[in-house]
Structures are given as C-alpha cells and as structure tokens.
Amino acid sequence: MKLLLSIHKYDVFMFTWLVNAKIHRTLSNISRYLSKTGDGQLYTLIIGLLYFIEGIESPLLRAILLAFLLERPIYFILKNGFKRNRPEAALKNFRSIIKPSDKFSFPSGHTSAAFMMATLVGYFFPVFMIPLYGWALLVGFSRVVLGVHFPTDTLVGCILGVSTAFFSLGQVI
C-alpha cells in the first residue's frame, strides 16, 4: 500500500508540473489532434484496407485482430478492477481539457492501442518503427497533457499494448 501511495504522489507531482508549465496551452492545442489519432478510426481504416488488399490471410491483419481481441478485455478488466480516478476526480480544483469516455484512468486505452498498433505495423514495416513509436509516445503524452491520465496510466498502457502485440505476433507468425 505504501508503494502505491508513493507512486501516486510521484504521478501527481509530475502531472501538476506538466499542467502548470508555461508551454501547457500550446501543448494542449496540439494534444487534442494527437489524441484523436488514437480514438480508433485509424485502426478501423487500417483493418479495412488490409482486408480489402490482402484478405483475411494477411499476417498483419490476423495479428491486429488477435491483439485487439486480447488487449481490449484485459484493458477493461484492469480499468474496472483498479478503478483509479482520473485527475479531474482525484485533484481538487482541476478540470481536464477534454471529457473522457469513461470514469477511470488506469491504464490508458489510447496509449495501449497506439503502442500495440505501432509494434504490429512496425514489425511488418521496420522502416516505420521509429516514427510509429514516436507517434504512440505522443498519443500517450497527449492524454496526460489533456488532463485525463496520470503518467503511470500511460506507462502501463504502453506495456499492455506492446505485450499484447508481441503475444499476437508469436501466435500468427
């Protein structure tokens, strides 16, 4: 319990420092757009294009579908099991910039899905690996800037996304 309290204190410190930084207003404007790229429409488009171009036999398509079949239930179990309040509910006098789609913050689903897709697409197209991980990192960072996640929410989202991607690749390849 003491460890969790220490982690939470660190999270609040880092979160508060970021939202009070002079550059926060500029970051929040950019973060709105970055966060939207992780909403899911891009993933649906990629899945549709892969199915249209390569069919269900596409190893990338199969890895993506398996990864989402694993990642989403794990994400929901963790989120509803830990029931960690979002910054707006946990911190007095703080309002997030956007309205989140659900009540709890741990782990970050946007971050998890972004790192999962970055890992899977980067595996099949290695030349894009660094830009994809840069994008996934920015999606996670944007969720903190927008005030809907603490830093460790996005860290665990990253771990969840990469882990499910590697597991899926192991099953498909």
Q: Which residues are catalytic?
A: 110, 149
* Token pair in block for residue 46: 């990629």
Tell me the residue type at 70.
L
State the residue for tokens 């990338």: 60
User: Is 134 buried (19+), middle (13-18) or exposed (0-12) by CB count in 10 A?
Assistant: exposed
d(CA 141, CA 59): 30
Is residue 83 left, alpha or beta, with left meaning phi > 0 and alpha meaning psi from -120 to 50? Answer: left
| Residues 150, 31, 4: CA angle, nearest 5 degrees | 5
What is the DSSP annotation of 99-134?
Answer: --SSSB-SS-HHHHHHHHHHHHHHHHSGGGHHHHHH
Asked if 113 and 38 count as a contact pair (C-beta separation under 8 A), the reply is yes
